[in-house]
Amino acid sequence: MNAPLNAPHPQPARTGGKIMLVGLGPGSHDHLTARARAAIAEADTIIGYVTYIRLVADLLEGKEVIKKSMTEELDRAIESLERARQGKKVALISSGDAGVYGMAGPTFEVLFQAGWTPDSDIEVEIIPGASALNTCAALVGAPLTHDFCAISLSDLLTPWPTIARGLDAVAYADFVVALYNPKSGRRTRQVLEAQRIFLRHRDPQTPVAVVKSAFRPKQRIEFTTLEKMGEAEIGMLSTVLIGNSNTYVRDGL
Ligand code: SAH
């Protein structure tokens, strides 16, 4: 049963511990928000995937830095909670936005399992950042002007049939699509399967942009078509934008 809205809230003394879920944006300091920068400055402990730590290495002097590998998501969340319980201010960093295929979900799962509520002694703040779909779109023109969606092709935690069903539905519904996690060293089949599903509903000439490492030193932009996207250079640092039936390319945009 819900307590009446005006009931006094039990306010346990806060330990001062805090978890900040920081979205770094694409990776250049110019696109790091002022709040993200301040949150990193405020934190005494920084936890994140090695690549993301590297992106902000110059802002981390004097802080405890805990590097984790890609697959240690839950570990990162558990470690954050433990540190926050000790009264630490922890910045848990993600590329792009922490809520988009990032650390926000796993962190809340760990927190809720530990009995945490927003009133409890650990404060949680989410600091939004520009996600790959925003930053990659900005480099190729205005591909997201109408309805669009994001689909991650990573089937490590989501069964492929579920992903394939989503691809089929949005291809049919003529959404512009941003494909996250399109391909990695070991996962090479998914992007070809996505192409095959899209070709069932869309013109082979539909514009496709592959943006790698947006706003990072190794940025690379490649325009292709749905028919030819299988030949494009796609990797785990790429986002693939597939246009809809109204998308066109003009003057390299
Ligand atoms: N939280 C991140 C997404 C993490 S999933 C965000 O909001 O952007 C990792 C995927 O994000 C990568 O496989 C790639 O598809 C995309 N991505 C993240 N940063 C990128 C960048 N700078 N350029 C291109 N794609 C990027």
**Best of 28, 94, 101, 215 to mutate for ligand 1, by most ligand atoms within 8 A of CB?**
101
Structure tokens at 177: 């699509």
- Convert the pLDDT of each residue in 104-161 to its tens digit: 999 999 999 999 999 999 999 999 999 999 999 999 999 999 999 999 999 988 999 9
pLDDT of residue 69: 81
Closest to 136 in 3D by CA, of 180, 91, 188: 180
Q: Which of 1-15, 44-58, 163-177, 223-237 has the lowest mean pLDDT?
A: 1-15
pLDDT band at 3; cut points 50, 70, 90: very low
Ligand 1: residues with CB < 6 A are: 26-27, 94-97, 100-102, 131-132, 136, 180-181, 211-216, 236-239
Rounded Cα gap, residues 207 and 117, in angstroms: 46
pLDDT of residue 156: 87
Rounded Cα gap, residues 253 and 236, in angstroms: 23
Write down the mean pLDDT value for the chain.
Answer: 93
Task: Tell me the chain's radius of gyration from C-alpha atoms.
Answer: 20
**Best of 55, 95, 153, 158 to mutate for ligand 1, by most ligand atoms within 8 A of CB?**
95
Is residue 11 pLDDT above 70, yes or no?
A: no
Rounded Cα gap, residues 251 and 253, in angstroms: 6
**Best of 179, 239, 242 to mutate for ligand 1, by most ligand atoms within 8 A of CB?**
239
Q: Which atom of ligand 1 is nearest to the CA of 26?
A: 22
Is residue 71 pLDDT above 80, yes or no?
A: no
Is residue 10 pLDDT above 70, yes or no?
A: no
- Convert the pLDDT of each residue in 175-206 to its tens digit: 999 999 999 999 999 999 999 999 999 999 99
Closest to 107 in 3D by CA, of 93, 89, 120: 93
pLDDT of residue 70: 73
CA–centroid distance, 131 to ligand 1, in Å, is: 7
pLDDT of residue 8: 53
CA–centroid distance, 111 to ligand 1, in Å, is: 25
pLDDT of residue 13: 55
Rounded Cα gap, residues 35 and 209, in angstroms: 31
